[in-house]
Chains A and B, each alone.
Chain A
Amino acid sequence: MNASTPQTLLVVGAGISGVTAALEAAEAGQEVILVESEASVGGRVIRNHHYFPKMCPPTCGMEINIQRLEHNPRVKVMTSTRVTQATRTDSGWQVRLTQAARTINERCTACGECSKVCKATVPDPHNANMNEVSAVRLPHPAAWPAHFILDRDACSEEDLRAIVSACKYNAVDLDATEKEDTVAVSAVIIATGWHPYPVENLDQFGAGKIADVIANVQMERLAAESGPTAGKILRPSNGEAPKSVAFVQCAGSRDVNHLPYCSGICCLASLKQAIYVKEQLPECEVTMYYIDRRAPGRNEDLLTRVAGMEGVKLTKGKVGKVEAESDGSLSLRLEDVEAGRLLTASADLVVLATGMVPHLKDGKLPFELKLDDDGFGLDDPDAKIFIAGVSRRPEDVASSVRDATGAAAKAMVASLSQQRSA
């Protein structure tokens, strides 16, 4: 049994929601354990090129959050760690935390000598698998903790030996094993976030078969300096700049055959990405095909701004089909609802605005959770479980931050009520 006090709060997931919840609670005096299954914090937001509507990079805000984490002794951050068992106790939960074998440990200074000697490569998960990257690397330039990770299965014995001998700091430990720790916590905040809806399910758009049909999360990486094209928006098929880009809204969203709900961010993400395209390729024709343009609150200004840009067209009509033409371009079939005509539109690059699937839907967490029909979590004050961010409902970054702050407050109240009754 760990020495942590019974008033420790467990936050599962270190994306923007989990980090916010952990910091807000810790800065209010609460002891917090923040666990993250990936090797560094930041979750989905760190994969964005810019946030909407302010069009600023997420690394800036994350840097401030990382400073706060580093300077707050009340937060214990455990990366590469999963909750593998959870038992209800009188005072909250007893959880087992399992940390994956750390073949590269905290002695790593991210000097990069190991990458130079390793020949093995893997598809880069940080860049939506759009490029190959060394099997031993920093997860991404802004990774925190700034330690390398090793995809051991991808490496040959020769690679592994070279990596070990290249490390001057003795940080590579091939004999490292999984570590388990059992802790008692007073309340739990679930902030496990989301993954993009799998485009392979969208046969009608040729996603996964046609190179130039990409998902919105891939577009973020194409536009990012740390992305597969060093920030240049290029067609995956031939590496040329597209002359026309089409955004297909509600790709697998608001659809009983896919995700029945609206994720609430895809319209804004496409509008944001239209700006990426126009800033980089002013001549490029951008068209967004939509059912409804959902830009609530202050985000309406973004809609107005993009709709007024030259060479940007918003056409009402859900795209039914995308096909590759013999000349390499893509054709999109839809009804232009306002004109009352069927269109076969053409584009060099098609971006599918896919929605968010809550990780909770996979049911991998060992807690007994209350979920709604779509797999989003519901607060369970009796069980002292609170849900933050996209685990609770589809929402943007700003809403997730507010939401996480609220979850922190609720979890702390739940912890206090336990203290009083004890």
Chain B
Amino acid sequence: MASQPLISSADFRKELQKRGGDTVSRCYQCATCSSVCQLAPDDAPFPRQQMLHAQWGLADRLAADPAVWLCHQCNDCTERCPRDAKPGDVMQTVRSLAVENLATPRFMGRLVGKASMTWPLLLGLPFVFWVLVLYAINGLQVTLDPEKGLVYDQFVPHWLIYIVFFSTTGAAGLAAMLSGLKFWKLIDNGKRRAGSFISSTISVLWEIAIHKRFDKCGATAGRKWGHFMLVWGFVGAAAASGLIIVAMYIMHEELPLPIMHPFKWVGNIGAVLLVFGGVMVLGNRLQENSQAGKATAFDNYFLGVVLTVIATGVLIEIGRFLFDPGLACWLYIIHLTAVLSLFATFPYSKFAHILYRTLAMVHERMTAKQ
């Protein structure tokens, strides 16, 4: 066990109370939760033990516990909990605190962790950044191409996109890697890892690709498809971005690509998945007595940014033809703002579950008895 605590147990308990894990104190350790969990491995059940550690404020144990991330918040536990202690919500809050405590640098973790207060800053800073930079470059003036009408790269030049996003994703990626390494070392306590990291990772990525674990959820089985479409929608959008670069520099095609171009279709299929997935996820969240659990600022910030990216992404694509060019350009600025906020906060927001959950699943696979 690490001798230096990441956070004092009193502070941890206080934060847990504040951020939606207040029901933890009702738990009396009956273990109904673990027995109804479809995802818990037989030799390391959760969330009963994690509830106890959360009550005691053992932040270190929880930060070093892969089980915290193996939980997919099915909420089968919450549905059956005889004390209404909502283990599903508590685990989600524990994860948000783990993201904050593992963050590199720590202050970024705290900044995003306190999204209930800092969200205007998290969204406002990138917005001000884009407005100032674009004002410096083109005075926020839209020039229309005589043949093609509104062309976004004439408003926001590609070199600017590259500089901003390559540097942001580079920094976020580096931070994520450092945090990921810290986490990978922390969870290596007790069980011996065996087998190859690469092949375990590939197996885990396949499991994620088909959303195998979501299938086991009882109470919130409906959550699978929303998440599934969002994941694959983002994969489509990312692929489209890569393909555009291929189109520009390898195939030497002119932008914007014609609407029927196959690369465009990759992006469009992604967009359709994102829209449907986004609507489903939002619907689950807004449902009265949501089985999806209590939405905290940490959840809402991430979901809000994702939905903004999707909505503005679709609007700017059709807005080029339908909207006033001025409006379309402002939507483009909002889109770039949301994307920048999403990328810059990747290791510190709920987005980081991609990193930690995947690592926890790889660890689980490598330590599983053959």
Binding stretch for chain A, among B1-9, B78-86, B156-164, B230-238: B78-86
Q: Is the CB of B43 within 8 A of A341?
A: yes
- A-B contacts, 10 of them at CB < 8 A, read A254-B28, A291-B31, A318-B30, A318-B35, A319-B35, A320-B36, A321-B35, A335-B31, A337-B31, A340-B49
Whether B44 is near chain A, meaning CB under 8 Å from some CB there, is yes
CB distance from A402 to the nearest CB of B (A): 29
Contact among B35, B44, B80, B84 for A340, CB-based, below 8 A: B44
Number of chain A residues whose Cβ lies closer than 8 Å to a Cβ of chain B: 22
Q: Is the CB of B31 within 8 A of A318?
A: yes
- In the bound complex, residues from chain B placing their C-beta under 8 Å from that of A317 are 30-31, 35
A residues near B (Cβ < 8 Å) are 204, 250, 254-258, 291, 316-321, 333-335, 337, 340-343
User: Which single residue of chain A is at the shortest CB-CB distance from B31?
Assistant: A335
A250-B82, A321-B36, A340-B49 given. 19 additional CB < 8 A pairs? A250-B30, A254-B30, A254-B82, A254-B83, A255-B83, A256-B83, A316-B31, A317-B31, A317-B35, A318-B30, A318-B32, A318-B82, A333-B35, A335-B45, A335-B48, A341-B45, A342-B35, A342-B45, A343-B42
Whether B29 is near chain A, meaning CB under 8 Å from some CB there, is yes
- In the bound complex, residues from chain B placing their C-beta under 8 Å from that of A334 are 31, 35
CB distance from A332 to the nearest CB of B (A): 9
CB distance from B33 to the nearest CB of A (A): 8
Q: How would residues 80 to 106 of chain B score, 1 for a CB under 8 Å from any chain A CB and 0 otherwise?
A: 101110000000000000000000000
Q: Is the CB of B45 within 8 A of A256?
A: no
CB distance from A289 to the nearest CB of B (A): 10
Task: Return the 3 tightest CB-CB contacts between A and B, nearest first.
Answer: A320-B35, A255-B82, A335-B34
Whether B243 is near chain A, meaning CB under 8 Å from some CB there, is no
User: Which single residue of chain B is at the shortest CB-CB distance from A319?
Assistant: B35
Whether B40 is near chain A, meaning CB under 8 Å from some CB there, is yes
- In the bound complex, residues from chain A placing their C-beta under 8 Å from that of B34 are 320, 335, 342
User: Which residues in chain B, 309-352, are within 8 Å of chain A measured between CB atoms?
Assistant: none
- In the bound complex, residues from chain B placing their C-beta under 8 Å from that of A257 are 80, 82
User: Which single residue of chain B is at the shortest CB-CB distance from A343?
Assistant: B42
Q: Is the CB of B80 within 8 A of A320?
A: yes
B residues near A (Cβ < 8 Å) are 28-32, 34-36, 40-45, 48-49, 80, 82-84
CB distance from B217 to the nearest CB of A (A): 15
Which of B31, B36, B43 counts the most chain A CB atoms within 10 A? B31
Bound complex: CA A340 to CA B190 (Å): 14
CB distance from B48 to the nearest CB of A (A): 6
Q: Is the CB of A335 within 8 A of B82?
A: no
User: Which single residue of chain B is at the shortest CB-CB distance from A316?
Assistant: B31
Q: Is the CB of B48 within 8 A of A337?
A: yes
CB distance from B56 to the nearest CB of A (A): 16
Bound complex: CA A204 to CA B49 (Å): 22
Bound complex: CA A204 to CA B33 (Å): 13
User: Which single residue of chain A is at the shortest CB-CB distance from B49?
Assistant: A340
- In the bound complex, residues from chain A placing their C-beta under 8 Å from that of B35 are 317-321, 333-335, 342
- In the bound complex, residues from chain A placing their C-beta under 8 Å from that of B40 are 342
- In the bound complex, residues from chain A placing their C-beta under 8 Å from that of B42 are 341-343
- In the bound complex, residues from chain A placing their C-beta under 8 Å from that of B82 are 250, 254-258, 318
Contact among A204, A254, A291 for B80, CB-based, below 8 A: A204
- In the bound complex, residues from chain A placing their C-beta under 8 Å from that of B45 are 335, 340-342
CB distance from A394 to the nearest CB of B (A): 17
User: Which single residue of chain A is at the shortest CB-CB distance from B52?
Assistant: A337
Bound complex: CA A252 to CA B326 (Å): 64
- In the bound complex, residues from chain A placing their C-beta under 8 Å from that of B49 are 340
Bound complex: CA A125 to CA B83 (Å): 34
Known A-B contacts A320-B35, A335-B48, A341-B45; the reply to A256 vs B84 at CB < 8 A is yes
